[in-house]
A = this chain, B = another copy of it.
Amino acid sequence: MNKEFNLNDILAFEKRFRATFINSLGGFKSLALIGTRSREGNTNLAVFNSLFHIGANPPMFGFIVRPDSVDRHTLSNILETGEFTVNHVHEAFYKNAHQTSARYPKDISEFEETHLTEEYKAGCYAPFVKESKIQVVANFSQKIDIQENGTIIIIAKIKSVSIPEDCIQTDGFVDLEKAGTITVSGLDSYHRTEKIARLSYAKPFIKTSELNSL
């Protein structure tokens, strides 16, 4: 039996109930740790669940920074240095990833507090998460302010990518499930995935079919 809620019902919810409820409505979400380093050298690591694809040429994506969140250290480092890393989250360290959302003081590194390992590579000032199998380096491109509630959209360009070779299929598909990347719903519910199928490119009046492994 479905229950209907109109806007007045939703606005009358207790604040945290409403946040939990509304955060679920968009469906399952991406889950990644964003690594940054201030000019002074302080490293920061924060979990994000709002990455969205923007385009492949040039390769671009976006994500959301909430006005009241700990993500602010991430944001200030990105604006300061123009660079950050995106690191997929796997089941072996999802609790560590979740713990990065605690409000640590700016001079404390979430890497240390959450027992995740900083990794550095040539040509990138920002730290990677060594435990992460899929790592992306990105450069800041654009900052968009949503006036309504103070939320910020960050648009970024991909600079480089590191992926297990055996997770890349012959048509370019990256098998996230094979890499062990997990997903999140609401604010705090973590899920592994189980593949149903890949489907062929949809064309009008032709029935789509399942793609075999490529």
Contacts and interface: CB of A to CB of B under 8 A. Distances in A.
Interface residues of A, number: 116
A113 B193 CA distance: 30
Contacts of A39: none
Copies of this chain, complex-wide, total 2
A102 B207 CA distance: 10
Contact of A2 (B22, B108, B141, B163): B163
Contacts of A21: 56, 168, 172-174
Interface string A41-76: 000000001111111111111111010000000000
A1 B56 contact: no
Contacts of A18: 56-57, 59, 172
Given A7-B160, A10-B59, A173-B186, 5 more contacts: A25-B158, A27-B30, A28-B28, A55-B148, A193-B193
